[in-house]
Amino acid sequence: MKSRRNRCCYVRHVRNLERAPVFATLLRAMSANLDPDAALMLQVRDGDRTAFETLVEKYKQPVVNLVARTIGDFTEAEDIAQHVFVQVYKSAHRYEVTAKFSTWLFTIARNLSLNEIRRRSRHRADSLDETFADDDVNPMRQAPDLQTTGPTEHLLRDELEAKVEEAIADLPEKQRTALLMCRHEEFSYEEIARVVGCSLSATKSLIHRARETLKERLKPYLRSGAWRED
């Protein structure tokens, strides 16, 4: 009975420590030691612009790549990536080390990419309403071609790469993000799960379904040996 009371007292003591500011600071420092980028972000939080520039230099291209493949538009990806880093800087004073810095960063990138996709969807709907308005004197005028390929394909000279990008762009959003992070950014399943907001098993299922869909779409290239699955 006494040992049980001692254990309960110990648990309460640890919980009280965890709530203490000094202990919380120590935990953040320990986490930052495990992730040098998180340590840099803590320096940014303290007003170190050089640390921020170091993070931008390291992550600019990976963020551009993820955004471009998420929205299917390399032209706009640079601008959105800039917004990502602006948001990172503005949020610096609230930054806490709860996960790897890259996980936090790519969550912001994903959210802004989704905002852009929603904005484009609304714009397309408005364009269609405008095109087929009841008082339109020429209701048969040419509507915007929503099936035309975006700038991505024009930038890719290789036909296979264009087909791969096309197939990835058609994946459901969560499958697309999970697959891109797995293939292009080498994140762990746990990190991808945090970004897409799913359990670990659901994340693995997302990636598996995405790969199966790509295999089906790219069967001719699989037969020819032109496509290699990582």
Asked whether residue 9 is domain-assigned, the answer is no
- Of 132, 166, 181, which residue sits at a domain end? 132
- Please measure the distance between the N-terminal and C-terminal CA atoms of the chain and give it in whole angstroms: 57
Domain count, the chain: 2
Asked whether residue 2 is domain-assigned, the answer is no
Q: What is the pLDDT of residues 131-184, one digit of tens each?
A: 334 444 333 333 334 344 444 444 434 566 677 778 888 888 889 888 888 876
Asked whether residue 200 is domain-assigned, the answer is yes
**pLDDT above 80: residue 215:** yes
Confidence at residue 49, expressed as pLDDT on a 0 to 100 scale: 94
- Please tell me the distance from the alpha carbon of residue 41 to that of residue 93, in angstroms, as a whole number: 10
Confidence at residue 223, expressed as pLDDT on a 0 to 100 scale: 59
Residue range(s) defining the domain that contains residue 221: 157-230
Q: Are 115 and 74 within one domain?
A: yes
> CB under 8 Å to 215, separation ≥6 — which residues?
222, 229
- Please tell me the distance from the alpha carbon of residue 213 to that of residue 174, in angstroms, as a whole number: 14
Counting other chains too, the contacts that 107-113 makes at CB distance below 8 Å and 24 or more residues apart are: 107/194, 107/195, 108/84, 109/63, 109/66, 109/67, 109/80, 109/81, 109/84, 110/66, 110/70, 110/177, 110/195, 110/196, 112/67, 112/80, 112/83, 112/84, 112/87, 113/66, 113/67, 113/70, 113/71, 113/80
**CB 223: neighbour CB atoms within 10 A?**
9
CATH code of the domain in which 201 resides: 1.10.10.10
Asked whether residue 181 is domain-assigned, the answer is yes
Whether the model pTM is above 0.85: no
Q: Are 31 and 114 within one domain?
A: yes
Dihedral, CA of residue 36, residue 42, residue 48 and residue 52, to nearest 10: 60
153, two tokens: 């394909």
Asked whether residue 146 is domain-assigned, the answer is no
Q: Are 84 and 164 within one domain?
A: no
Confidence at residue 88, expressed as pLDDT on a 0 to 100 scale: 95
Asked whether residue 3 is domain-assigned, the answer is no
- Of 132, 167, 184, which residue sits at a domain end? 132
CATH code of the domain in which 124 resides: 1.10.1740.10
Q: What is the DSSP string of 55-68?
A: HHHHHHHHHHHHHH
Q: Are 37 and 108 within one domain?
A: yes
